[in-house]
């Protein structure tokens, strides 16, 4: 079958890499793709957000199945348009994608159906938001309601910081229309984990857990980023916690969406805070995480294309999904200056040698070709991914590959997986 993957990041490279191995995939396209994706798929110059352009291409090329990577085209209704045209697609409908597209919608749904999360308030006026903050006791988190490329969340340690966050989002318009409304919620202490499940509208099958490293520097210091690395599975989610997350969070959410008239299909990514043996929802995302997708694809033993198709067709109960017992890790290499100002165009060498290390795959996130050379074309540029028997084994392999890559203008954190290693 002909498959189109929408997106250009490390998540999409990992999906393309996994899908290309399926005997069902006869031709693979990516829109717009990147230099790494070009090794396994034909890249077409259509932006991921260009819903009409992707629809036109899918119809003209008689694409059988579209896998949507990023959140923006999902929230923009790409799956609805594809399915209306008779093209199967992996991902939620526009209405179901509001789980990520509107934090207010997400929190209201959880409140209505008693899904564990933090106390909150939603406001469309700065003074009312500040009045609520005055009444809150202790630290709060201020969030832009809409999509803000993972950057619309501000953790505030006191009322002055919270007031400044409100001004930043609602008055200075730092995130544009995404900040028309703000969500203010209590700060939840604990350990943050990511949990993923495939969903076909009624059935949910767990893909397992991962732990992301958001802060830019070692020891989880510095500003937050889109993610500087991840590993899977995480020891925080043992068998008992896994069962509790499915029973109290994932399944109730799927049932709630169906009850509201927005049956959910695709991958459900729950960002959770675990404290005292209890998981609570920080946020839901309606797509694979980046860089978590890289470690999930590295661990998946069965045919990923068959699993994604089963979601789209409502036949997840029939799918056979198996996982490697190994640990997978991804270390993100970013351009100097990220997440602030960074330069594009610096050359990256020795990628083939690094990727030849046993158990290592190099996923491209922000790259392009300049002639025959690979150059940086984004903030997060590479996802050096490894498989090992333990977290430490995977970590050793990943950093061996990092050190083999010649890129003076890039950097990475050197402590990905530190929580799991310290725990043992």
Residues 230-279: tens digit of each pLDDT: 999 999 999 999 999 999 999 999 999 999 999 999 999 999 999 999 99
Mean pLDDT for the stretch of residues 413-422: 94
Predicted confidence (pLDDT) per residue in 191-230, tens digit: 999 999 999 999 999 999 999 999 999 999 998 899 999 9
Mean pLDDT for the stretch of residues 372-378: 96
Separation CA 204–CA 254 (nearest Å)? 8
**DSSP tag of 415:** -
Does the structural domain 125-180 have CATH classification 3.30.1490.20?
yes
Given pLDDT bands bounded at 50, 70 and 90, which one contains residue 424?
low
Separation CA 207–CA 221 (nearest Å)? 29
Separation CA 341–CA 379 (nearest Å)? 9
* E-state strands within 124-276: 140-144, 153-156, 182-186, 191-200, 204-212, 215-217, 221-224, 229-232, 265-275
Q: What pLDDT does residue 138 have?
A: 73
Separation CA 96–CA 75 (nearest Å)? 8
- Listed by start position, the domains of the chain span 2-93, 125-180, 191-318, 327-423
Q: Is residue 40 pLDDT above 90, yes or no?
A: yes
CATH class of 2-93: alpha beta
Q: Give the count of beta carbons closer than 10 Å to the beta carbon of residue 365.
A: 30
Q: Give the count of beta carbons closer than 10 Å to the beta carbon of residue 329.
A: 30
What average pLDDT is seen over the chain? 96
Residue 201: both structure tokens together: 């509208």
CATH class of 191-318: alpha beta
Separation CA 32–CA 64 (nearest Å)? 18
- Spell 287-321 as b/e; 16+ CB within 10 A means b: bbbbbbbbbbbbbbeebbbbbbbbbbeeebeebeb
| Cβ pair 299, 232 in contact under 8 A | yes
Give the Å distances, CA to CA, from 100 to 22, 113, 227, 383.
30, 17, 17, 24
Q: Could you give the percent of the chain with pLDDT greater than 90?
A: 94
Instruction: Let me know how long the chain is.
Output: 424
Residue 303: both structure tokens together: 């045919």
Given pLDDT bands bounded at 50, 70 and 90, which one contains residue 179?
very high
Q: Do the domains spanning 191-318 and 327-423 agree at the CATH topology level?
A: no
Q: What pLDDT does residue 222 have?
A: 92
Q: What pLDDT does residue 423 have?
A: 81
Q: What pLDDT does residue 137 have?
A: 77
Separation CA 294–CA 317 (nearest Å)? 25
- Provide the 3-class DSSP secondary structure of residue 196: strand
Separation CA 72–CA 145 (nearest Å)? 14
Q: What pLDDT does residue 151 have?
A: 75
CATH class of 327-423: alpha beta
| Cβ pair 119, 126 in contact under 8 A | no
pTM reported for the whole predicted model: 0.94
Cis amide linkage into residue 32, ω under 30° from 0? yes
Cis amide linkage into residue 128, ω under 30° from 0? no
Q: Could you give the percent of the chain with pLDDT greater than 70?
A: 100
Given pLDDT bands bounded at 50, 70 and 90, which one contains residue 35?
very high
Mean pLDDT for the stretch of residues 307-317: 96
Mean pLDDT for the stretch of residues 103-118: 96
Q: What pLDDT does residue 223 have?
A: 87
Given pLDDT bands bounded at 50, 70 and 90, which one contains residue 422?
confident
- Provide the 3-class DSSP secondary structure of residue 198: strand
Predicted confidence (pLDDT) per residue in 379-397, tens digit: 999 999 999 999 999 999 9
Separation CA 296–CA 386 (nearest Å)? 11
Mean pLDDT for the stretch of residues 51-73: 98
Mean pLDDT for the stretch of residues 102-129: 95
Rounded (5°) CA angle 244-250-251: 95
- Provide the 3-class DSSP secondary structure of residue 274: strand
Cis amide linkage into residue 233, ω under 30° from 0? yes
Q: Is residue 97 pLDDT above 90, yes or no?
A: yes
């Amino acid at each position: 079958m002909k498959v189109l993957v929408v997106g250009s990041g490390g998540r999409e490279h990992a999906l393309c890499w996994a899908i290309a191995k399926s005997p069902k995939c006869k031709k693979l396209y990516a829109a717009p793709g990147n230099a790494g994706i070009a090794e396994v798929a034909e890249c077409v110059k259509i932006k991921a957000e260009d819903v009409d352009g992707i629809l036109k291409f899918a119809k003209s090329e008689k694409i059988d199945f579209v896998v949507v990577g990023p959140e923006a085209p999902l929230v923009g209704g790409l799956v609805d348009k594809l399915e209306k045209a008779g093209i199967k697609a992996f991902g939620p409908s526009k209405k179901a994608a509001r789980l990520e597209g509107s934090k207010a919608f997400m929190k209201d749904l959880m409140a209505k159906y008693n899904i564990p999360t933090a106390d909150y308030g939603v406001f469309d006026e700065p003074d009312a938001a500040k009045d609520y903050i005055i009444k809150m006791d202790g630290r709060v988190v201020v969030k832009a309601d809409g999509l803000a490329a993972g950057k619309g969340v501000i953790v505030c340690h006191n009322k002055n910081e919270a007031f400044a966050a409100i001004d930043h989002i609602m008055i200075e318009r730092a995130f544009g229309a995404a900040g028309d409304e703000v969500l203010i919620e209590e700060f939840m202490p604990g350990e943050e984990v990511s949990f993923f499940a495939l969903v076909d509208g009624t059935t949910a099958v767990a893909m397992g857990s991962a732990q992301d490293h958001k802060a830019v520097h070692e020891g989880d210091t510095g500003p937050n980023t889109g993610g500087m690395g991840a590993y899977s599975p995480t020891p925080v989610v043992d068998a008992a916690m896994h069962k509790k997350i499915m029973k109290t969070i994932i399944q109730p959410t799927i049932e709630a969406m169906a009850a509201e008239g927005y049956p959910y299909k695709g991958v459900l990514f729950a960002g959770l805070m675990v404290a005292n043996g209890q998981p609570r929802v920080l946020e839901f995302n309606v797509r694979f995480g980046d860089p978590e997708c890289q470690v999930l694809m590295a661990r998946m033993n069965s045919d990923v294309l068959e699993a994604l198709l089963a979601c789209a067709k409502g036949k997840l109960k029939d799918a056979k999904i198996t996982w490697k017992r190994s640990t997978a890790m991804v270390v993100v290499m970013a351009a100097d200056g990220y997440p602030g100002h960074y330069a594009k165009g610096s050359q990256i060498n020795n990628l083939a040698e690094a990727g030849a290390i046993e158990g290592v795959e190099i996923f491209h996130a922000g790259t392009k070709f300049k002639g025959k050379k690979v150059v940086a074309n984004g903030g997060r540029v590479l996802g050096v991914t490894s498989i090992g028997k333990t977290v430490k084994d995977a970590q050793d392999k990943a950093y061996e590959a990092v050190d083999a890559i010649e890129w003076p203008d890039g950097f990475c954190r050197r402590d990905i997986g530190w929580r799991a290693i310290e725990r043992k």
